[in-house]
Amino acid sequence: MVDRASTFADDETLALLRTKYIAFAPSLTEILKSRDSAGDFFRKVVNQRAEPRHSKQGYYICSPDGTLIKGWMYPRPDDGTMKRYLKEALAGYRSPKEVEPLDQTKIDRYANPLLPEGAVVAEVFTKLVEASWQPTTLERFSVIRGAVGRDRFWITKAERLELSKGTLADSLLERMIRFHFVDNTRGVPAMWQKGDLKALQIKTTRQNDTLHVEGTVRLEEADNRRFEAKIEGKIELKGETLSRFDLVVKGSHSARRPDVGEVPTGSAKLAIAFALLPPGDDPRIPPLYTWHGDYLKTDKLRVPEIRQSSN
């Protein structure tokens, strides 16, 4: 997925997907385990693909009755295979006249977590803006080194109400730091753990409906990651409605263990930006770490204590 920008770079491929297909993009881990009819249907489709055996990641073209037409995972980055398969599948496609209905009364919430009532969704963009790498001839590495990591961030109703009073709630800061101040540009990184937050300074200044945020953060994981960054933000509210949530975090990031594939040599500059989800975008796409079950529990990083002692 980290090379999605190159996989879907071709205009004709995108036009085929927009006009000739119904495009569906689930979270593989969750839907594979989903104990409902959507999970059953998905497993029926992907289990028809013989290769590769080690993973179900990849691309599938199927009929809505669940008959697999094509399924593949490689090559990545795509070498034109995607467009060729899209065209081949269309050439022989006959839409089924009848399709067996699926039971929609039971939905496994593990695979489909619900946005809490009154919560707001922000998008998170992550990029290594400066980094040194070992030399490589692998095209895939060259592509993903410049990739933008993406995620979603939930701001709960209580946190939104705190913002309307000019306060950044500790819970909001903890969720943001623990799950989103990470380098997710080349895969799924580990979240920060208890004891990793070493310093946090946050200053907010209110000016009419605008809240200006300035701060610094320092995170350290024993014998592995370190992130020391500045935080700057502009948040706007109209009453209790959040109309802008622009935040940028930028600083030095280093890691010894390559838990997200290769790591840059030495210290890199990691930048993270937050912005409200634009109207029309699907708010049902959940933050990555909702699978963990702790996404809304914010008692691990000792934010109130660290925030107080750092100021």
The reply on whether position 58 binds another protein by CB under 8 A is yes
Nearest approach, Cβ of 72 to another protein (angstroms)?
A: 11
In total, the chain counts a number of residues equal to: 311
Instruction: Please state whether beta strands 241-254 and 68-72 pair in parallel, antiparallel, or not at all (unpaired).
Output: unpaired
Nearest approach, Cβ of 43 to another protein (angstroms)?
A: 11
**Could you write out the three-class secondary structure of 221-286?**
CCCCCEEEEEEEEEEEEECCEEEEEEEEEEEEEECCCCECECCCEEEEEEEEEEEECCCCCCCCCC
Nearer to another protein, 226 or 250 (CB): 250
Nearest approach, Cβ of 98 to another protein (angstroms)?
A: 9
Q: At what angle do helices 303-310 and 170-180 cross, to 10 degrees?
A: 100
Handedness of CA 245, 111, 18, 282 (dihedral sign): negative
- By CB under 8 A, the residues from 98 to 157 that bind another protein are 99, 102, 104, 112, 123, 125-127, 129, 148-152
What single letter denotes the amino acid at residue 254?
A: S
Residues 6+ apart with CB under 8 A from 147: 2, 3, 5, 127, 185, 186
**Which one of residues 169, 202, 242, 288 is an interface residue with another protein (CB under 8 A)?**
288
User: Number of residues in contact with another protein, rule: CB under 8 A?
Assistant: 81
Instruction: Please state whether beta strands 149-155 and 120-132 pair in parallel, antiparallel, or not at all (unpaired).
Output: antiparallel
- Binding map of another protein across residues 158-197, x = CB under 8 A, - = no contact: --------------------------xxxxx---------
- By CB under 8 A, the residues from 205 to 244 that bind another protein are 205, 207, 210, 212, 232-234
Q: What is the DSSP letter of 152?
A: E
Nearer to another protein, 27 or 164 (CB): 27
The reply on whether position 20 binds another protein by CB under 8 A is yes
- Binding map of another protein across residues 82-101, x = CB under 8 A, - = no contact: ----x--xx--x-xx--x--
The reply on whether position 251 binds another protein by CB under 8 A is no
